[in-house]
Every structure is written in structure tokens, then in C-alpha cells.
């Protein structure tokens, strides 16, 4: 075990892992940041050792908080492809564009990394019931890993969550509840806090103040990127951002490897949010103090439902990540996200949900604004599979024409419907 201690990001209170902390006892919504013994890691692990390990995120187990391998709950998450996007790069005028394809994870999103760590810690702590507030992906991941570990999962999702995500939850055996969202405050978080604080359920959302362990999983995305680029650090990394937990986790992965001397610099971290809900990027634009981020004042309005957090729970750490790396924020429209979905699918064969394609939309916007040098090495995180949100896909992709088995009718319809010529 390489965890030295946990420290509340707000009050500074110190906790030991053996005391099994989940939230700060002061109830001030401070995140329990995990501090590792980097000196011991440097003594015990060398980069060359990684090549001999399994192709999963657990190849980096010294940088994760689970105290023993016997507690690990895994479905084979991590070590997702880093794809050189040749056709897309050519279209955008970029020589070194890479896509980190997180759709390949067991339940179809990067949240599997987070929930593998979180459920492993729940197993170590001895919890039998877990609760989550989620638009779908985090809940689906928790339900899958909870099923593997034998932990009951209760999921609160917004009333407008897509059925594709709900169906996943139900099949995994989760008890799912749609919660009506009529005010700015996220009602799913309200219900999760109630069950965690009053009834002793293990809280496992994908943001830090209610669970410090899950945010450690996405660190491994950064570590994989470095290995897959043959130990080169990219120039910029584009991250779809809601609660800023993914942004924080990926930054922390680069931080950890800087701390042990395996790399010696950071990429610029870029946060991408939709127009209909961008409290985090707004805070960056205003150069806000990390502890003074204002929540979004109304319910979110975006097709990127996975980025609908009206308050960025890990925004303090996320802003520091931007400030420390000379990073920046980008706001994109739903139309720009849809165009990014089509480009990913049509040029690279990668089918992403709206939230998953937001990073590419942000890159295109950043190119237009002159924030990207076309010789730079750019990594875009593609965070969730397109089948996660079939309702949105159906509305935007349209349908296929129906024809008789007649070549003449085929050619005529192809020319009229798809605007092709033969």
C-alpha cells in the first residue's frame, strides 16, 4: 500500500486509509485528496516493469489506493486504444492527432475506471449497499461492478435520462429511480446525500467530495497516453467536462508521473463544456478562485447529458489543473457536438455519444480560435459510446429509405436521398 494519508481539500483534516474514510467528517463538501508515498514508489517500481504487466489500468496499481490485490474488482477496464486519426487529422490540418477511445471499456465509457476503483474500496470497507447520482454512465458502471462484487446498487438519474442508459442499469440489477429536475439544484445528488449521510449507503458518484477513490481511476488514462506515445508527453489534451472530475483525474495522472520522475512536463489541459451548461469554463473565463465557483443558475439544456452537472464538484482541482498547465476552457454548441459525432464516425469509424464527442468539438473550436499549433501532438478523449444515447442518435441521424429489390429504384433513391452519383 502506497497511500500515506488523505487530506480534506477544504479544512485540511488528515485521515488514514485504515480508518476507511469516504467523506470529510466536517460535512463541508471538501474532497479527501489522496497523498501517495512517491519515494517508496520510486524505490519499488521502474518504468520498464510496466511492459511485463497485464493490459489493464491495474498495471499502475501502485498509483491506486486499493490496499491489496484481493480487493480488486475488475471487468478488464483500461488500456484502451490511442488511435492516430489520420483522416480526421488531414481534414483538420493536424499532423499528430490522437483519439483516446474510452468507448472500449466494459460498459462503454471511461466511468468504468472510476467505478472499478470505487467498488474495490467498497469491498475493502465492507459495504453492502451503494448509491449513485448520475445521468447514466457512472450509474451503469457502478451497477456492473456492484454486480461483480455482490453489492446492491441504488441509482438516482434525472427524469430525462436516455433509456439506453436506464436499460443497462436495470439489466445489471440496479434499483433505478428517475428524479424530477425542476430547479437548478441537482435533485439526484440531493437524494444520494440523504441515503449516504442518514442511512449509511456507500456513496459512489463520479465526483470527489462524496467519494475520493473513484477519481483515482481516470488517472490511468494519462499514464496510458504516455506509454502509448512511447513516453512522450502530448502538447494538449482535450477533456469533455461536467463536474471536472475526469479533468482532475487525468491531470493527477500526469502529476503522479512527474512526481516520480518518469516524465518532466505537463500537457496543456483543455476543458470542453456545452453552451447550455458551462459553469466550470465560465469560472475559468472569469479567472475565479478555485473555491469560489458559481453553480449554473438553471437546469441544463444540452444534448450532452453526461456533462449536465450544474455545479462542478471537483471544479477547484480542475481550475488548478488549467492554471498549472496554462490550459484553457472551450464552450461548444449542440450543433458543434453533433458535427463532431459525425466526423468521428464518418472519418475514423468511432461512434460516440454527444458527451463523448464534445472533446473533438472543443478541438475544432480551439483551432478556429488559433489556440492550437498544427504541428502539436493533440490527444482528444472520446469518453462514451454512441449507443449510450440512442434517443439522441435517432433524432439526429435520421432513418434509411425503404426500396423494392430493384436496381433501378436503388440507383434513383441513392441519388435523391444520399445525393450520390454513379
> How far is residue 352's CA from residue 397's CA, in Å, rounded to a whole number?
13
Core vs surface per residue 237-275: b (16+ CB within 10 A) or e: bbbbbbbbbbbbbbbbbbbbbebbebbeebbbbbbbbbb
pLDDT of residue 135: 67
Domain annotation covers residue 273: yes
Q: What is the pLDDT of residues 334-344, one digit of tens each?
A: 999 999 999 99
Residue 222 falls within a domain, yes or no? yes
Residue 258 lies in a domain: yes
Q: What is the mean pLDDT of each run of 10 residues along the chain (422 residues)?
A: 95 95 90 97 96 96 97 98 98 98 96 98 97 88 97 92 81 94 84 94 94 97 98 98 97 98 98 97 96 90 89 96 98 97 97 96 98 97 88 77 94 93 90
**What gap in Å lies between CA 412 and CA 396, rounded to an integer?**
24
Q: Evaluate whether residue 60 is within a structural domain.
A: no
pLDDT tens-digit series, residues 87-98 = 999 999 999 999
Q: Which domain holds residue 262?
A: 82-108+215-395
pLDDT of residue 312: 95
Confidence (pLDDT) at 393: 74
State the cell numbers at 114: 472510476
* Within a domain: 288: yes
Query: Which distant-in-sequence residues (6+ apart) come within 8 Å of 417 by Cβ?
Result: 401
Instruction: Please check whether residue 278 lies inside any domain of the structure.
Output: yes
Partners of 148 in the beta sheet?
none
**Domain CATH number, residue 376:** 3.40.50.1100
For residue 171, is it within any domain? no
332 three-class SS: strand
Grid cell at residue 21: 474514510
Report the pLDDT value the prediction gives residue 389, as an integer from 0 to 100. 74
How many residues are listed for the chain in this entry? 422
Structural domain includes residue 14: no
Count of domains observed in the chain: 1
Which residues are paired to 269 by β-bridges?
237
Q: What pLDDT was estimated at residue 103? A: 97
Residue 240 near residue 307, CB atoms below 8 Å: yes
Q: Measured between alpha carbons, how far is residue 138 from residues 72, 214, 246, 358 in Å? A: 18, 10, 12, 17
Amino acid at each position: 500500500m502506497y497511500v500515506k494519508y488523505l487530506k480534506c481539500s477544504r479544512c485540511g483534516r488528515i485521515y488514514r486509509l485504515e480508518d476507511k474514510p469516504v467523506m470529510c467528517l466536517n460535512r463541508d463538501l471538501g474532497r479527501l485528496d489522496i497523498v501517495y508515498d512517491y519515494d517508496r514508489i520510486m524505490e519499488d517500481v521502474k518504468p520498464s516493469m510496466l511492459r511485463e504487466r497485464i493490459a489493464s489500468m491495474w498495471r499502475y496499481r501502485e498509483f491506486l489506493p486499493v490496499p491489496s490485490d484481493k480487493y480488486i474488482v475488475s471487468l478488464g477496464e483500461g488500456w484502451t486504444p490511442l488511435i492516430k486519426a489520420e483522416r480526421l487529422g488531414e481534414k483538420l490540418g493536424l499532423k499528430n492527432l490522437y483519439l483516446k477511445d474510452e468507448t472500449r471499456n466494459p460498459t462503454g465509457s471511461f466511468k468504468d475506471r472510476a467505478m472499478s476503483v470505487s467498488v474495490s474500496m467498497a469491498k475493502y470497507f465492507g459495504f453492502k449497499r451503494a448509491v449513485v447520482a448520475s445521468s447514466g454512465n457512472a450509474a451503469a458502471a457502478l451497477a456492473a461492478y456492484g454486480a461483480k462484487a455482490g453489492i446492491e446498487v441504488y441509482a438516482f438519474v434525472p427524469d430525462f435520462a436516455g433509456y439506453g442508459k436506464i436499460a443497462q442499469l436495470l439489466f445489471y440489477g440496479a434499483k433505478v429511480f428517475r428524479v424530477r429536475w425542476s430547479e437548478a439544484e441537482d435533485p439526484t445528488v440531493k437524494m444520494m446525500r440523504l441515503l449516504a449521510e442518514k442511512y449509511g449507503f456507500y456513496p459512489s458518484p463520479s465526483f470527489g467530495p462524496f467519494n475520493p477513490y473513484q477519481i483515482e481511476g481516470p488517472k490511468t488514462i494519462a499514464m496510458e497516453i504516455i506509454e502509448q506515445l512511447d513516453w512522450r508527453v502530448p502538447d494538449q489534451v482535450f477533456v469533455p467536462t461536467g463536474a471536472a472530475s475526469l479533468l482532475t483525474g487525468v491531470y493527477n495522472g500526469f502529476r503522479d508521473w512527474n512526481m516520480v520522475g518518469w516524465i518532466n512536463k505537463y500537457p496543456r489541459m483543455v476543458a470542453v463544456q456545452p453552451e447550455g451548461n458551462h459553469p466550470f469554463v465560465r469560472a475559468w473565463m472569469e479567472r475565479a478562485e478555485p473555491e469560489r465557483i458559481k453553480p449554473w443558475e438553471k437546469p441544463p439544456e444540452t444534448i450532452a447529458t453526461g456533462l449536465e452537472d450544474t455545479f462542478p464538484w471537483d471544479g477547484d482541482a480542475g481550475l488548478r489543473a488549467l492554471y498549472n498547465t496554462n490550459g484553457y476552457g472551450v464552450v461548444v454548441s449542440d450543433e458543434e457536438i453533433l458535427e463532431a459525432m459525425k466526423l468521428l464516425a464518418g472519418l475514423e469509424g468511432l461512434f460516440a455519444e454527444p458527451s463523448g464527442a464534445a472533446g473533438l468539438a472543443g478541438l475544432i473550436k480551439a483551432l478556429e480560435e488559433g489556440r492550437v499549433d498544427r504541428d502539436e501532438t493533440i490527444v482528444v478523449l472520446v469518453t462514451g459510446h454512441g449507443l449510450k444515447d440512442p434517443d439522441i442518435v435517432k433524432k439526429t441521424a435520421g432513418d434509411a429509405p425503404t426500396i423494392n429489390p430493384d436496381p433501378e429504384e436503388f440507383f434513383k433513391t441513392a441519388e435523391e436521398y444520399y445525393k450520390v452519383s454513379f
